[in-house]
Structure 1
């Protein structure tokens, strides 16, 4: 450690003189820093002033807009019925609406029986059931029957009658339905919470409290998970690929595409419809997104998809649709109401 005492020998305190000279030397630097702070503060204030002037300019432009002095607001007496909006300059008063008829959406219903009848000799994976049969077990009158991948409708029937000789089960190809009967007249008890196969559901056999039950609807149909080439169409699909138009929007298909994927493609095509399959009536449906009496335009461009699905075989009309019908009463003074809902403009 170095220890020094200035002026010890000479009596002259040179260190204090040096400190003062350094301080004098730094005076311009300190003055420059003060000026810099002052300039920064002025810039900040000028920025705030600019923001306020811009805000004033915007508000002055709003004041110059003639719509400001004719602005309106509206309210609906019953918001569960509808909502309202109003433009500047609208006439003041109450607008009362009476609704006589609600608009509905148009539905293009394809022809029924789009799918073939069930093939009783084919294995369960390809026998043409509208609802595919899963392997597992199902129960009839406490008797458990097993469905395996190699089973056909015929072999399943044999398993049923073997498990309970009192039962008789058959398939009618003309009606495409199954009939199950107890020979002794015993009430049939179908299904169990432990069932792992959907055979009874796919066969549309339901408990009815009697000794005989028949499928509630035809069994053959279109499986939406199947490829188009294996979809069991009644009308043979021509070609391995093709396209069609729905309201002018083109949808492409390939025989390897799943039926459900094509229906989703129609819905997402921008054609303004929702495509679906009605398994009960075995037909395809196109429903307009918008309400009113609006038709649906369909055209096969390449191949015969619309013919195979029987969408093109039916009249292309907005089946059973109707446009909305209303009565409007306007009163600017007395404020009487004649409708189910009213809109007030003020």
Structure 2
């Protein structure tokens, strides 16, 4: 008798129940896949809207720049002198026209020149045997080397005294030339016993002759061209060697003076002439002080040009007197000059400065800085380059926006199928592009002048495209050059101009773009919630299916075990 036969779904077969579970789960995931595709589409749309928002902002900024920068009021100034060194400028809105400036006198600065030779002499007496060349307080430091007198070389060292040099001159010339120092005039004199005295040679290495201010004059005698002693600018005022003593100080050496009403203090024991000059220049007195080493004097120069005075005051015996800057001390005021000029042949006008602005010539917004007394014609014109660039930026940003919308909303049909842009289903965005084109094409109401639409500037759409182009550049150039006011009215009329209309509308579109993006973001958050629920449900389904197949397998294994037992128990005994 044959054994009991139990067949089963899972026994001795190639059935893969795990694969079945996976396939069933995959089928259940179909809604999730659909939701994920929708999310990806939303993300692409949100990204496209963000790019669109950027282009809206760029066009909005371009329009605002036209208004904020007053582009159509920009002016340039051109001189009829191509090599002019004058600097001219005009503010926005300056009157367009031609102005001939004839400058006959430039403005100069007043200066108070202190007396020359404020320093003491080289020596108090004619005996200069104790004065070495190294310590001689001359305007220029004396150098060692050789110099030539009457064809004879004289060699000197810095350790030589001035008297030593006089002796060397006499020795070199065989007593033919004598030298002496006059303490009263602070000058050196060289005298040749006969014939013309000739000084210097091309191969001289010492500057002794120039330091002593000695030069040829065609005679037998030459004397220093000026006093030789100079002020020691780096020494304290008390030891600077000033010819006139400073006495108007207190017991500690403190004193003060006033320049244009500004007080300047000093101390004769601690301050040097250099430090006092620096203090004057930092005092805000409107003057600049300097030391003229060649003439051994101090000069005060007005910081401003024009016929303006320089006032100084101090107690008698003060520093200004010692520097020769007071009238009693020999100071000389060289008055400044006002600029003098005419405009278009009119009356002579004056200006305290060489920058001639409307307060001097009456032409609003025009400023001319002159540095030569010449005649030039200045043409104030519309700055068409700036205007053209601003319009060019507007067209560039307008076209970039239109091109982007056209591409994003494009539907392409080919033999292989249909492809659509990321915003092809967004009718609202496509309507925006149409409205912007309408705004650019239509006439603007309420403007002044004869220009009320872009076409009047030679600007129109390029065929049937959405792009604005300059079709007639000559028309645009003429309008910008001859009638910038009307162009300005077209663009920036306070209520109906292109700028305020575009600016407001673009602001609205920017808000709408952000709203659409926000809705897409919210939709994706909702999709995430739905996917989470479905994922949880599918996971439960997978678990349930897996458990069911496991139970079937266990049941079949039990049946197989029982079958084997019965066969071994009953059929084996029967056969025996």
- TM-score of Structure 1 vs Structure 2, range by shorter chain: 0.7 to 0.9
Match for residue 110 of structure 2? Answer: 106
SS across alignment from 2:104: strand
| Pair 212,12 (structure 1): closer, same or farther in 2 beyond 3 Å | farther
Counterpart among 165, 168, 191 of residue 156 in structure 1: 165
Counterpart among 182, 186, 197 of residue 176 in structure 1: 186
Cα displacement (A) at 1:103: 1.7
The 8 Å contact of residues 266 and 274 in structure 1, kept in 2 or not, is answered as yes
Cα displacement (A) at 1:109: 1.0
Higher helix share: 2
Q: Distance in 2 between matches of 1:23 and 1:198?
A: 107
SS across alignment from 1:84: strand
Q: Distance in 2 between matches of 1:306 and 1:21?
A: 110
| Pair 42,242 (structure 1): closer, same or farther in 2 beyond 3 Å | farther
Cα displacement (A) at 1:245: 4.1
**Larger Cα-atom Rg:** 2
Count of residues paired in the alignment: 327
- Between 1:277-286 and 1:44-53, the stretch displaced more is 44-53
Q: Distance in 2 between matches of 1:26 and 1:212?
A: 122
TM-score in terms of structure 1 length: 0.73
Cα displacement (A) at 1:204: 0.7
Q: Distance in 2 between matches of 1:24 and 1:242?
A: 105
Q: Distance in 2 between matches of 1:319 and 1:172?
A: 32
TM-score in terms of structure 2 length: 0.47
Deviations 1:255-285 (A, max 9, x none): 4444344334434544333322334443211
Match for residue 321 of structure 1? Answer: 336
SS across alignment from 1:131: coil
The 8 Å contact of residues 131 and 221 in structure 1, kept in 2 or not, is answered as no
Cα displacement (A) at 1:289: 2.8
The 8 Å contact of residues 147 and 207 in structure 2, kept in 1 or not, is answered as no
- Is 2:375 the counterpart of 1:340? yes
| Pair 128,49 (structure 1): closer, same or farther in 2 beyond 3 Å | same
| Pair 64,203 (structure 1): closer, same or farther in 2 beyond 3 Å | closer
SS across alignment from 1:263: helix
Match for residue 220 of structure 1? Answer: 229
Deviations 1:75-95 (A, max 9, x none): 222362523222344333211
| Higher relative contact order, structure no. (Cα contacts within 8 Å, ≥ 6 residues apart) | 1
Cα displacement (A) at 1:108: 0.7
Match for residue 247 of structure 1? Answer: 260
Match for residue 283 of structure 1? Answer: 297
Deviations 1:111-134 (A, max 9, x none): 233122221344445544333434
Q: Distance in 2 between matches of 1:297 and 1:245?
A: 8
SS across alignment from 2:87: coil
Match for residue 131 of structure 1? Answer: 140
Match for residue 76 of structure 2? Answer: 73
The 8 Å contact of residues 122 and 153 in structure 1, kept in 2 or not, is answered as yes
Q: Distance in 1 between matches of 2:183 and 2:16?
A: 127
Cα displacement (A) at 1:12: 6.8
Counterpart among 190, 203, 208 of residue 199 in structure 1: 208
Q: Distance in 1 between matches of 2:42 and 2:115?
A: 86
Gaps of 5+ in 1: 1-8, 332-338
Counterpart among 318, 326, 337 of residue 312 in structure 1: 326
Q: Distance in 1 between matches of 2:168 and 2:41?
A: 98
Q: Distance in 2 between matches of 1:311 and 1:57?
A: 61
Higher strand share: 1
Deviations 1:24-72 (A, max 9, x none): 999979x87995896487357426514633651562474488x655544
SS across alignment from 2:307: coil
Match for residue 488 of structure 2? Answer: none
The 8 Å contact of residues 131 and 223 in structure 1, kept in 2 or not, is answered as no
The 8 Å contact of residues 116 and 234 in structure 1, kept in 2 or not, is answered as yes
- Between 1:90-99 and 1:249-258, the stretch displaced more is 249-258
Cα displacement (A) at 1:11: 5.4
Counterpart among 91, 116, 119 of residue 115 in structure 1: 119
